[in-house]
Structure 1
Amino acid sequence: MYHRREYPGGRLLILPRPLVHEALRRPPTSHLLVTDAGYFPHATRHARSRLRGSPQAIVIMCTEGSGWVEMDNSRCDVEAGQFVIIPPRVPHSYYADPDKPWSIWWLHLAGSDLPALLSAVGLTPERPTGLMADPIRLVELVASICDDLAADETQASLTAAAGAAWHLLARLAAERSNRAGNHQSIARVQTYMRENLATPLSVPALAAMAGFSTSHFSARFRDATGYTVVEYTKRLRMARARQLLITTRDPIADIAHAVGYTDPLYFSRQFTAVNHLSPTHFRTRSLEEQVH
Structure 2
Amino acid sequence: MENETADIKKKEGFNGQKAIVLPRSIISKDCMTNPLLSGTYITDIGFYPKAKFHYRERDHGLDQYILLYCIDGKGDVKIEKTAHTLSAGNFIIIPAEKSHAYASDKNNPWTIYWAHFKGHLVKSLIRLLLKRQKSYKGFVQFNESRIKLFDEIYSNLERGYSIDNLCYVNISFSHFLSSFIFDEKFNYSYKKSMANPVDISIEFMQKNLHATFTLEEIARSVNLSPSHFSALFKEQTGFAPIKYFNHIKIQKACQYLQFTDLRIKEISATLGIDDPYYFSRMFSKIMGVSPQDYKVKREMLRETKFL
Calculate the TM-score normalised by the size of structure 1.
Answer: 0.57
Residue 176 (structure 2) aligned to one of 168, 176, 194 = 168
1:129 equivalenced with 2:137 (yes/no):
yes
Contact 1:40 1:105 in 2 (8 A): yes
Residue matched to 2:24: 17
What pairs up with 1:45-194 in 2 under 5 angstroms?
45-122=53-130, 127-175=135-183
Contact 1:60 1:107 in 2 (8 A): yes
Q: Give me the whole-angstrom Cα distance separating, in 2, the residues matched to 1:94 and 1:83.
A: 13
User: SS at the partner of 2:39?
Assistant: coil
Calculate the TM-score normalised by the size of structure 2.
Answer: 0.54
Q: Give me the whole-angstrom Cα distance separating, in 1, the residues matched to 2:118 and 2:193.
A: 38
User: SS at the partner of 2:183?
Assistant: helix
User: SS at the partner of 2:78?
Assistant: strand
User: SS at the partner of 2:97?
Assistant: coil
What pairs up with 1:220-231 in 2 under 5 angstroms?
220=195
User: SS at the partner of 1:108?
Assistant: strand
Q: Which runs of 5+ in 1 are unaligned?
A: 184-189, 191-216, 225-292
Residue matched to 2:36: 28
RMSD: 3.0
Contact 1:62 1:81 in 2 (8 A): yes
Contact 1:87 1:125 in 2 (8 A): no
User: SS at the partner of 2:20?
Assistant: strand
Q: Give me the whole-angstrom Cα distance separating, in 2, the residues matched to 1:124 and 1:96.
A: 27
Contact 1:118 1:169 in 2 (8 A): no
Letter of the 2:163 counterpart: Q
Q: Give me the whole-angstrom Cα distance separating, in 2, the residues matched to 1:14 and 1:70.
A: 24
Report which of the two structures shows the higher radius of gyration computed on alpha carbons.
Answer: 2
> Could you list the runs of 4 or more consecutive aligned residues of structure 1 that deviate by over 6 angstroms after TM superposition?
123-126, 176-179
**How big is the shift at 1:60?**
0.7
Contact 1:145 1:161 in 2 (8 A): yes
Contact 1:121 1:173 in 2 (8 A): yes
Is the alpha carbon distance of 1:158 and 1:119 closer, same or farther for their aligned partners in structure 2, counting shifts above 3 Å? same
Contact 1:85 1:123 in 2 (8 A): no
Aligned length: 184
Q: Give me the whole-angstrom Cα distance separating, in 2, the residues matched to 1:178 and 1:19.
A: 31
Q: Give me the whole-angstrom Cα distance separating, in 2, the residues matched to 1:125 and 1:170.
A: 13
Q: Which has the higher contact order (CA 8 A, sep 6+)?
A: 1
Is the alpha carbon distance of 1:6 and 1:27 closer, same or farther for their aligned partners in structure 2, counting shifts above 3 Å? farther
Is the alpha carbon distance of 1:55 and 1:104 closer, same or farther for their aligned partners in structure 2, counting shifts above 3 Å? same
Letter of the 2:80 counterpart: D
Q: Which runs of 5+ in 2 are unaligned?
A: 1-11, 201-307
